[in-house]
Structure 1
Amino acid sequence: MEGGRSALEPASSAFFIGAAEVAAMARRLGLTAAELLPTLVPTAQSLARPPISHFPVGAAGLGSTGAIFLGANLEFPGAPLNQSVHAEQFLVSNAAGHGETTITHVAVSAVPCGHCRQFLQELRRASDILVLITSDGPDAAYRPLSRLLPQPFGPRDLLLEDSPLLMEPRDNALVIVRPGEEDSLLSSKALAAAKEAYAPYSGCPSGFAVVDGEGRVYAGSYAESAAYNPSLGPVQAALVAYVARQGVGGEGYESIVGAALVEMEEAAVSQEWTARMLMAVVAPRCRLVVYRCRRSS
C-alpha cells in the first residue's frame, strides 16, 4: 500500500466516487451515503457488458472510508460461462483496487445469487454487510447479508481468527524467479498485483496486468473464496480494472495488446491456461508472457 492507497489504484474511474464527493452529493440531495447507493444502481447497470445473457446487473457499494464503488457484470462470448464476472465481484475488486478495506452497504439491481453471497463471505464482518435489492421496488430496504445466507461457510471455518481477509492489506513477499524480468512495466505491475493477492486457501497468489495500444496498464489480483468456485481470477480482476477506466462507451477488449501473468513456481493452482484461453477469446492480438515467482524469504 502506498499512502493508504493500493499500488494498483487507477488514476480515475467511472466506477468510483471519492468520499468528499459522496458527502457533497448526499448533502445536496438530502440523503445519507447509504441512501445514495440505490440511486446509482441504474448507472452501474448501464456499464454492464452481458452479451450472452443480455441481463445487465449493477451494484453500488459503500466503503468504510465513505467512498462509493460501482460494479457490473461482464460476460465473454466464446469462453465458458464460469469465466464471467458478477457485479458484486466487480464491485469488490474495484474497491480493493482503490485501497478500500471493507464494504458496509451494497445496493444491487437483482437478488444476489448464491455465488455472490458466498464470495462476500471473504470480507470482514460479512454477515453485517447491509444489502438492498432495488428490484424489490418501493419496499426495498437494507437487510444484513446474514439473512440472505443464514448458515455461512467462510474464512472463520478455515483460517486463523487474525488472518487478513479479502480487501485487507497484505504483502505476499514475492520476487520473480529470473532476475531482471521484473523490470518491464507489465511484469512489475503484475508482480505488485500478485503481492496483494488473496490466496489463503491454496497459497498460490497471482497477479495479471494488461496494456492497451496507448500504453495504459491495468492490473488485478487473484481473490479466493473458501468455497473455491466463486474465486475471482487475476485475469478477470485486470479486466475489471480495464472496464472501470473505460466507463460509458469504452473500447472493447480488442484494444489490449499485451499481458503479463505472475504466479508461483509449480503452483498447485495455476492461472496460465485459463489466462491464455480467455485472452485468446477477448483480445486475439494480445501477447501474453508468464513469469514465475517465489517467496522472498
Structure 2
Amino acid sequence: MLDSDYTQRFLFDDSDVRGEWVELERSYAEVLAKHDYPEPVAQLLGELLAAAGLLVGTLKFDGLMVLQARSSGAVPLLMVECSSEREVRGIARFDAAQVTAGATFTELMPDGVLAMTIEPANGQRYQGIVSLDGVTLAESLSSYFASSEQLPTRFWLAADGRRACGMLLQQLPADRIREPEEREASWQHLRTLADTLSAEELLGLDAQTVLHRLYHEEQVRLFEPRPIVFRCSCSRERSASAVISLGQQDAELLIEEQGGEITIDCQFCNQRYSFDAADVAQLFAGAGTEGPSDTRH
C-alpha cells in the first residue's frame, strides 16, 4: 500500500512526454495545523504544496526550491519550500475580513505575481517571475512555463483541506517523435485527455487508476513512488546566527528593550527560540548556541 504522501513519475513510451503525480495528506495536515486558515486559503495553499511536489520531481538540483506568490488581494502571500530531499513546508498570509466562503483564486489573489527560486547547495541561484494571470493556480503555473524558455508543462491541481493532489505533464526534447506537426499533435492529444480529469478524481484516485482511465490506449510506464514529508528547516542554530548578525551591541540593546530576552518565531511552524543575556554573551564569546535557555514552544 502506498504511503499517504508521495510523488510518482511516469513516462509515455511512444511520445516525448513525461509526467508526475503527487498526493499529500499527512504533510498537508501538518502545514495546516500550524495556522488557522479559512477553507479557501487552505485549499489554495494545498494546491501550491502539490505543485511544489510535482516540480521537485522534474528538476535536477541539490538544494531548495521556493514558490512564492504575492498579490494585492485577500491573500497577499503564499509561500512553499520544497527541498531536493522532498521535505516541504508552507505558509499563507491572509486578511480574514476579505476571505469569503467559496472565494476563487482570482478573487483571492488579484494582480498576483509568482516567483520560482532554485537555491542549489552549490552553484548559482536561479529565479523566474511571471504574472498570475490564469483563472486557477494550475493555469498560472502552466503559463509560467509557457512564457519561459523551459519545457512546455501543464498542471492539474486540487485540494480540499484534507488532501492535496496533482498531476503534471511535460513535453521533452524531440527523440521518439521528430516531425514537428506529429510531435505537437501527440502533446495536444495527451493534454486534452488530461483536461477531462476532475477534482474529485484527482483527490479520490491513485496514479495507477487515473493513468489507466486516461491513457489505456497509450504505453505508460509508472515508476516507484518517492515519499514526501513535512519538515521545517528552522533551528536554534539558524536563529542564533540571526542574533549574531545584529552585532553584540545591538543584540544586548534588544534584550533590554524586550524585557530580558530576544525571541525569534518561525513563521512556518510557530516554533519559538529564545535567547537571554547569558545566551547572547555566550554566542559572542564563540561558545556556540547551547546556552542556559532551552528552546521554548
Common fold by TM > 0.5 = no
User: Which one has a larger percent strand, Structure 1 or Structure 2?
Assistant: 2
The structure, 1 or 2, with the larger RCO (C-alpha pairs under 8 Å, 6+ apart) is 2
Give TM-score scaled by structure 2 length: 0.28
Which protein has the larger Cα radius of gyration, Structure 1 or Structure 2? 2
